[in-house]
Amino acid sequence: MRMGSAEILSLVGIILGLLAVMLLSYKGWSPLLVAPLGGIIILIFAGLNPLTAMFSEFVPRVSNMVTSMGALYLSSFMFAKVMNDSKSTYSIGAFLGRIIGVSHAPTIVIIFSMILRLGGAEHRVLHGLLCHRRVPVLESELL
């Protein structure tokens, strides 16, 4: 089956849109700006009106996603804050360090991250716990 010129141009637009998203994300641009920009590039190459398509498809779907996922994110952030304030993250790390042993510290850090992610801690919380504070897994006085 042969592709017509419109399909090839749309495929080129998809590739350029994805490349633009990857490049701008790598340069540190916000995903809130990069995603619509990539979508506009794809729409232009597909021969559609970007304003009509963005406001009739993109904006309503983003608002639906925010309203449906908002409560989930809010409860996750609140649970992570409670875990940090109650020092339960420190206790989990110390427990894993005592059980598995400090010689397996990388494995402990992975298990520690999985437990906290399942418990509702977000990636910023994990980054703060593992990089900016002393990780109890790696402290020999707790073992």
- Give the chain's domain count: 2
The answer to whether residues 65 and 84 belong to one domain is: no
Give the pLDDT score at 119.
62
List the domain range (segments joined by +) for residue 103. Answer: 77-142
Which of 28, 51, 70 marks a domain boundary? 70
The answer to whether residues 17 and 59 belong to one domain is: yes
Give the pLDDT score at 70.
77
Share of the chain above pLDDT 90, in %: 17
Give the pLDDT score at 32.
84
- Do the Cβ atoms of 77 and 92 come closer than 8 Å? no
Q: What angle do CA 115, 121, 123 make, to 5 degrees?
A: 105
State yes or no: pLDDT of 67 exceeds 60.
yes
- Of 134 and 56, the structure prediction assigns the larger pLDDT to 56
Confidence of residue 44 (pLDDT cuts 50, 70, 90): very high
Q: pTM of this prediction?
A: 0.49
The answer to whether residues 65 and 81 belong to one domain is: no
The CA distance from 105 to 109, in Å, is 6
Of 128, 143, 30, the C-alpha closest to 94 is 143
The CA distance from 49 to 43, in Å, is 7
Most confident of the following: 24-33, 82-91, 114-123, 128-137:
24-33
pLDDT digits (tens, 9 = 90+) for 90-122: 777 778 778 887 778 788 778 877 777 776 566
Quick one: angle between helices 59-85 and 88-100, nearest 10?
70
Average pLDDT over residues 3-27: 90
